[in-house]
Structure 1
Amino acid sequence: MIERIDTVCLKVINVEESSEWYQNILGFKETYKGEGYRILSIGNSKVPLTIEEGDVKPINNGTYPIFFSKDINKIYKKLKEQGVNVSELHNDGVNNFFDFYDRDNNKLQICYWK
């Protein structure tokens, strides 16, 4: 049966420019170049992010990746300084989190909890 999540895939308009954005803004590492897609490693996570060139349509289906960071305040400040579209920093009593958007307006989220 199913053993694990292999990857999370997001559609982007331009895979080259998006790969550079994820590497420069979020510090991801490009680990594979395929025709029309790239695989990016995220810190020490075993689940990569795959970005795939295709039709980017605003779909409000609630699916988006959530990344974890112990340095959420530092990342929040850095993203804002780099002009990334970010929401307010939220705390629900357990989790600290904020939403942000890539260059194709894909929703992403960063969280921290103890």
Structure 2
Amino acid sequence: MLERIDTFCLKVRDIERSSQWYQEKLRLKETFRDDGYRILSVGDSRVPITIEEGETARSNHQSYPIFFTSTIEETYETLRERGVEVSELQRDEVNTFFDLYDLDGNRLQVCFWE
């Protein structure tokens, strides 16, 4: 039946501008392009992000991808220096994490756990 997650889709208003943002700010690599959408690879992960041009709506109930990094503090500072909107760095009993937002207000999260 279901074998794997193929991709995670996010809606964006301007596909060209958003693709550039994801490549420049998050260092994702555009691996496929077609009318109205782009596929971006994430490090060595097999699950890419697909950005799709369409109506966007910022919501607290939005699904969002969570990226992993082993260098959470460095990643946090690098994204802040690149002008990415980020939340405060947070820690709980298991994880260290922060939220970030793309040009359309899509929530993404970065985490680290041992």
**In structure 2, distance between residues paired with 1:20 and 1:95:** 30
Q: Residue 51 of structure 1 aligns to a residue in which SS?
A: strand
Structure 2 match to 1:76: 76
Report Cα offsets for 1:73-95 as digits up to 9, x if no partner: 11100111122111110110110
Q: RMSD in angstroms over aligned alpha carbons?
A: 0.8
Report Cα offsets for 1:50-70 as digits up to 9, x if no partner: 000000112332410000000
Could you tell me the TM-score, scaled by structure 2's length?
0.97
Instruction: Give the paired residue count.
Output: 114
Structure 1 match to 2:107: 107
**In structure 2, distance between residues paired with 1:59 and 1:48:** 22
In the alignment, residue 64 of structure 1 is paired with which amino acid? Answer: Y
Identity of matched residues, %:
57
Structure 1 match to 2:89: 89
Q: Which runs of 5+ in 1 are unaligned?
A: none
Q: Which runs of 5+ in 2 are unaligned?
A: none
Structure 1 match to 2:25: 25
Aligned residues of 2:58 and 2:104 also touching (Cα < 8 A): no
Report Cα offsets for 1:16-57 as digits up to 9, x if no partner: 110110011111000000110000000000000000000011
